[in-house]
Amino acid sequence: MRKRSVRNGMRFILAALLMIILASFYHAGIADLLGLSIRSEERLYSLGIFWAAAIGGYGAVMSVFGFILPGNARDTGVRLLPLFLLIMTAVMFFFFLLATSLNEPPRPERLSPGQTITI
């Protein structure tokens, strides 16, 4: 087993999980921070999910090849457990955010430019 390849693949998987969390749950906050329009916010969400899937797929393939290929002498000092625990923490955080988002009351929709609020 090539632990370096497995570790690099796991790093890509962790990055993909973090991108999915940011794109799924914090896209409105990122759009407000950057001053994006609603259309740009939708594009941010779709591109975030797309690139997270691409990076996660690449990380999975890299990890599988790392498991298949024979190891080197340089791989003896590589530790995989800390990164595995980080991935499990990110997965648990994702499901925590998913469960809390299902129990939230719905947010009011944004006003379009030129719309007014009547009280």
CB 49 within 8 A of CB 23: yes
Q: How does pLDDT run along the chain (119 residues), one tens digit per residue?
A: 899 999 999 999 999 999 999 999 998 899 999 998 989 999 999 999 999 999 999 999 999 999 999 988 888 889 999 999 999 999 999 999 999 988 877 777 777 788 887 77
Which residues, including other chains, have CB under 8 Å from residue 28's CB and lie 6 or more apart? Answer: 41
Output the pTM of the full model. Answer: 0.83
What count of Cα atoms within 13 Å lies in the side-chain half-sphere of residue 25? Answer: 17
Nearest residue to 107 via CA among 46, 35, 22, 25: 25
CB 69 within 8 A of CB 5: yes
